[in-house]
Structure 1
């Protein structure tokens, strides 16, 4: 476990900013539980927001890394604590929307055991190919399959990306072969070496490689183009009107946390996203802020889960 504590501003500052309830709890440290290793992109975001929220609330915040078991260790850590508003879980599309579809005997119900607090960031995924591959668009991938009848190999390094790859097969009426990897680096190595047809990756990770001419991005899955890849069309632009999928992160808390504490914490995160520091932080990364909070965030998360569930059912994928 790795911990980092962020120093808080004066208690009076929290009350001035309009967070009196949380300010009165000054004596207890807020813990942010992260289900990923230190140094990962999600961990970095959690630490940035922990620092910003600590400044806004006048509270000390400790970030703890609890990776492993598909996020179950982190979730259990949160659920073992009182629902008093002092323990926050960093969630993601994997933890909230994908695991319930793909993991058998998950050990938690994200819609009963947890409550949504506030979104952090949201971005599209990218379909990528090597720079010397025959593919320059999704249409090229489809044409290649129809010409040869050979399934298209699609690299992934998460169950969420596996489902997006399955969705591609369903939308385009082609056959694909999912090729799982333990991380993005070995997958990209095989992609560049033309041992894969295409792969799914996050935009922030592959944008520099696209710029350097090492990879070709065929499409992204968001509703609009991304600022890091302004010349890359969306799946919608390429004729797949319903194909929209995202990678996102958000904060959740244990079910039963008092509504007033949820509202005050959510307000603090909203305020943090409006700061110049947050805007500068997000400007360097793919996507944008996920500004949904509380009930609105919960509706978004459930819709994401149901979409992945439909894709898995159509592909006859069972939890394992």
Structure 2
């Protein structure tokens, strides 16, 4: 990136220690080596990640500022927020997608059900709820889709974030929890919660004994989200190509893949054009789900 500034800031709209932050720091470390330049992760937390997106929109298009972005901010937010201050497809340059992840559904070990089918039968006879880390998130709509497809009534309970949801799950405050599978995996292995199902298209290699919603009879429950790299609109095409090629190299590295897997993420590269196509399709899917659900934010 000889034509651009030698230091690049990677904006992350979530706190240090969060899943997106973890992935961004892995990427920054390797891009630093591949491109021989400095990458700094800058956590601009607030408004469910929208503050970072708005900052990227205003950033200079010289390669000095990029953002590591989870797909919900591009595919769910445009339909969920009435006054979104950015257009995911017009206000940014899609560099590449490099990471996939899925949701998990978990319960307390003290719950009177040990499998998802048992939970659904229990929910037909008892007042039931599900918790998620925030309205308008993929976990929120994962629980909604399950309730619709299974024909059960589940009251949604929104928590302030993942840590609060996890504690509520362990303590049995909620009947079912929906969040990124990686937040539940080690707790389930340690016997502190039960991981009942995942939303991946196939069983995850990190939790091979946990069934998918699709195999349990809920194909609409396939929720495969992603993380990608965005730049301000108008970034020089040569710089975009150089960045995309570097991301492709990093995504192919075994060491990078293994570190992603620690958080239950998987390496999955798409170039900018394919990334835009994937986002466009996801927007169409989530727009229908959100319209049917009636969940909208007044913001």
Smaller-chain TM-score range? Answer: over 0.9
Partners of 2:97 and 2:268 within 8 A in 1 = yes
Partners of 2:19 and 2:263 within 8 A in 1 = no
Which of the numbers 140, 144, 148 marks the counterpart of 1:162? Answer: 140
State the partner residue of 1:209. Answer: 187
1:168-183, aligned counterparts within 5 Å?
168-183=146-161
1:286-313 deviation line (CA, Å, top 9, x unaligned): 1311311201111112222222221111
State the partner residue of 1:269. Answer: 247
Q: CA deviation at 1:259?
A: 2.3
Q: CA deviation at 1:235?
A: 0.5
**d(CA) in 2 for partners of 1:183, 1:26:** 37
- Inter-CA distance 184–81: structure 2 relative to 1 (3 Å threshold): closer
Q: CA deviation at 1:137?
A: 2.6
In the superposition, the TM-score normalised over structure 2's length comes to: 0.92
- Inter-CA distance 116–232: structure 2 relative to 1 (3 Å threshold): same
**d(CA) in 1 for partners of 2:116, 2:278:** 27
Partners of 1:129 and 1:191 within 8 A in 2 = yes
> What is the root-mean-square deviation in Å for CA atoms of aligned residues?
1.8
SS, match of residue 155 in structure 2: strand
1:158-202 deviation line (CA, Å, top 9, x unaligned): 221111111111211211100010122322322233221101122
In the alignment, structure 1 residue 312 sits paired with structure 2 residue 281: no
Unaligned runs of 5+ in 2: none
Partners of 1:26 and 1:59 within 8 A in 2 = no
Unaligned runs of 5+ in 1: 1-21
State the partner residue of 2:273. Answer: 295
**d(CA) in 2 for partners of 1:296, 1:155:** 33
**d(CA) in 2 for partners of 1:26, 1:285:** 32
In the alignment, structure 1 residue 227 sits paired with structure 2 residue 227: no
**d(CA) in 2 for partners of 1:230, 1:267:** 32
SS, match of residue 308 in structure 1: helix
1:196-215 deviation line (CA, Å, top 9, x unaligned): 11011222221111112111
- Inter-CA distance 315–249: structure 2 relative to 1 (3 Å threshold): same
- Inter-CA distance 124–277: structure 2 relative to 1 (3 Å threshold): same
**d(CA) in 2 for partners of 1:163, 1:35:** 20
Computing the radius of gyration over CA atoms, which structure comes out larger, 1 or 2?
Answer: 1
**d(CA) in 1 for partners of 2:291, 2:175:** 25
Which of the numbers 168, 174, 190 marks the counterpart of 2:168? Answer: 190
Which of the numbers 35, 38, 58 marks the counterpart of 1:57? Answer: 35
How many residues align? The count is 296
**d(CA) in 2 for partners of 1:251, 1:308:** 21
Which of the numbers 123, 129, 134 marks the counterpart of 1:153? Answer: 129
Partners of 1:91 and 1:252 within 8 A in 2 = yes
1:115-126, aligned counterparts within 5 Å?
115-126=93-104
- Inter-CA distance 183–70: structure 2 relative to 1 (3 Å threshold): closer
State the partner residue of 1:6. Answer: none
In the alignment, structure 1 residue 104 sits paired with structure 2 residue 82: yes
Partners of 2:67 and 2:231 within 8 A in 1 = yes
Q: CA deviation at 1:26?
A: 6.0
In the alignment, structure 1 residue 144 sits paired with structure 2 residue 160: no
In the alignment, structure 1 residue 70 sits paired with structure 2 residue 48: yes
